[in-house]
Amino acid sequence: MALWFLLSAAAVAALYVGSAYPGLASYRDAGDLAAGAWTLGVAHPPGYPLYVLLGRAWTALLPFGSAAFRLNVLSAVAAGLAAGLTGWAAARATRSAAAFWAVTALAAAPAFWHLGTLSEMYALNGLFGAALLALAACEGPRPVLAGALLMGLACGNHQTVLALAPGLAWAASGRLTRRQWLWAAGLFLLGAAVFLYLPVRAASQPWLDWGDPTTPARLWRVLTRGDYGGVRLHPERPMGLTSPALWASGARLSAEVFWRELGAAGAGLALWGAWAARKTSLRRVLLPGFLLGGPLFVVWANLEPGRPETMAILEPHLVLPLVCAAALSGLGAVELARRWPSRAGAAVLAALALAGLWQRRADAAALAGHRGDYAAWDYGTALAAGLPKGALILDPDDPTAFTLSYLSAAHARRADVTPLLYFRTRWGYELLRRRRPELLPARDIVSGRELQDALVSHNLAAGRPLYVDLPQKAPPGAPLLPEGLAYRLLAAPPDAARRAAALERGSAAFRVLNVRRPRSDAGFFSLHAAAYWSSALNNAAIEAERAGRPAEAERLYARALAFDPALPQAWNNWANAALARGDAAAAEGRYRAALRERDDPGVRYNLARAYLTANRLPEAEAEYRTVVAQGGPIEAANDLGLVHLRAGRLDEAERAFLEVARSQPRFPLSYYNLGVLYEKQGKRAAAAEAVRAWAMTSGSPEDRREAEAWSRRLQNR
């Protein structure tokens, strides 16, 4: 069985190394973990001290590749060992090599494979889980004591490993004396003492120092994620265990997730193995570990099925229950081999393995494609290239902050750029005061909201370049100007010269790399990183239009859509540009492209306007009616009256304009159109009344002057 273990572990590790990301992965906290390991820092809560220490040692031992790639290889090796140990544990418990089927079930699971190709701690968590199962499959008290030490260490990598603790304690209940239980508790605490790295390292003020855990209170807040969103996976959804009504939805989602991960063959054998486990030494560990770490965790997470981010959030938390499920699948394979001994059983297992791999061939192709995924590197380097010296980025998202941190720590790129992070916490405020006191006003600040306002006002007054990575991050009412992939906060609205300078700086950022567009199956986080590019190009095009450079705007819209053809805002804006220069045919095609991505009433209204411009009245009428039925803008109902007016249906036009005036008495265009209609019908008194209403509701001085001239013309007739 030792040979089977070595061969299977090596095969899985080689597969994963071959499909690993070539550098930093666009994945959750990969940049923060890579920067933390490379600099021996304190990573985001709960600090992950064991991963940081092992990661730093590994990067020193592996003599090639970037820091991120070396850590990707660490995950691949850990995942390979985890798969091999899972098969070994199942084989040890059943005394059958057929249990090594578990290696296939685990290695082919998309979530496990993905986490084995990037710089996160989850593959290592799977290795600890598999090692604990292997110890549980052994007899006597010594494996239990070794498991207690290992469990303590494993908590320093990721605390979800505790999902195995109840089952392991149950399995050990008849194997230890009271004295040995005390030894087990002491060994667990000895392993967990790895967390002492956090205050010891923080005392030396490392480059990366989340939470500054130099006091017991701050250490506790780091360990409990007190300043990092707590224990909920989604900040806007309550935990599912708070409402029994949510349990059924969570259970269905859990079944769908694990069926997809294990495939039909793996899931079927796992169910058979759950029954067969009662005969093995793992009977008290596998099923409780799977249920606590898998279905119960999914129910507790209470994520909304069907949303694109749901699987992305759940994925890393599936690794540990997949180890248990794969071991159960291995037990099921042993039962199958015993029913069909010798060559027949081997043939059936081989057929099931091939069927399972064929079922997930699309997942395998996508996962193998990660070796060409440079989304994080492209985004980070281009963002940095568009920023001036000494730039500040206010409250960046994790992908922005972690990517810039990694580039600065591991590649010495743009160390002069300062992400303003953590300032909503007391320790973050103190860290900022200690390291960059010039960025803060001299007075003491007592709240996060006050600090954000002070950071903006103080640094704008000092003339420092201050940016946000998303437009919605700008304080309300603050002037904002796109510059490359970031958005500059301004003290006053920009003039034409300032807009032109911003466009030039943005052009430099867009030219920095031959940016590689991720594959359509690249995954949620890579596509999210790519979306920064397309959105920035779209926003730069809007600025080009405002600056009176329509040709450049259209080129930028085209570039945005070449990078992300599924961006409806860019299609809509590009269509608006075509309509503004009178090309209704081009506008129609672009509006329809936007509607293919998302059926939006605003875009459909614009399509109707294109038809109206081209005098295609039947198509315009149909689209306007659809927009009105969808509850779209009031302009659609008004323009429907214009269609009737152009078609000569004057009574229908009058009813449409009057209905708009009744529903929106302050909407001026309905009165204007009524004036045109009544004048056309020769109803001068009604027309004059409508013109007066237009003048009263319009806030434009030019409209009022035109209304006065119109009224005089009506009186003189």
Q: Per residue, what are the HEC states of 37-82? A: HHHCCECCCCCCHHHHHHHHHHHHHCCCCCHHHHHHHHHHHHHHHH
* Cα maximum dimension of the chain: 111
**CB 34 within 8 Å of CB 71:** yes
d(CA 665, CA 659): 10
Would 144 be classed as within a structural domain?
Answer: yes
Residue 691, burial from CB neighbour count under 10 angstroms (0-12, 13-18, 19+): buried
Would 50 be classed as within a structural domain?
Answer: yes
Q: Return the DSSP state at 209.
A: B
| Amino acid letter, residue 214 | T
Return the closest-CA partner of residue 140 out of 164, 178, 167, 176: 176
d(CA 677, CA 645): 7
Task: State both tokens at 441.
Answer: 């006003």
pLDDT at position 327 = 96
Return the closest-CA partner of residue 45 out of 32, 27, 55, 58: 32
Would 174 be classed as within a structural domain?
Answer: yes
pLDDT at position 315 = 94
| The dihedral sign for the CA sequence 157, 158, 161, 162 | positive
- Domain total in the chain: 1
- What is the per-residue DSSP string for 445-507? --SHHHHHHHHHHHHHHTT--EEESSGGGSPTT--EEEETTEEEE-SS---HHHHHHHHHHHH
Pairing mode, if any, of strands 480-483 and 486-489? Answer: antiparallel
Instruction: Give the H or E element holding residue 689.
Output: helix 684-697
Distance (Å) of CA 18 to CA 15, 115, 262, 304, 356: 5, 14, 22, 34, 21
| Amino acid letter, residue 579 | L
The runs of H, that is alpha helices, within 277-360 are 286-293, 295-301, 308-314, 319-339, 342-359
Task: State both tokens at 81.
Answer: 């060992």
What is the crossing angle of helices 122-136 and 319-339, to 10°?
40
Would 282 be classed as within a structural domain?
Answer: yes
d(CA 534, CA 541): 11
Return the closest-CA partner of residue 523 out of 365, 381, 304: 365
> 3-state SS of 156-187?
CCCHHHHHHHHHHHHHCCCCCCHHHHHHHHHH
Would 353 be classed as within a structural domain?
Answer: yes
pLDDT at position 236 = 67
Q: Phi first, then psi: what are they for 126, rounded to 5°?
A: -65, -40
Helices (H) and strands (E) in the chain, counts: 35, 5
**CB 475 within 8 Å of CB 453:** yes
Task: Show the domain range for 318.
Answer: 2-369
The pTM for the full model equals 0.88
d(CA 190, CA 192): 5
Would 249 be classed as within a structural domain?
Answer: yes
Return the closest-CA partner of residue 595 out of 161, 587, 542, 308: 587
Would 205 be classed as within a structural domain?
Answer: yes
d(CA 602, CA 351): 53
Task: State both tokens at 688.
Answer: 């004059």
**CB 258 within 8 Å of CB 267:** yes
Ranges of residues in the chain whose predicted pLDDT is under 50: none
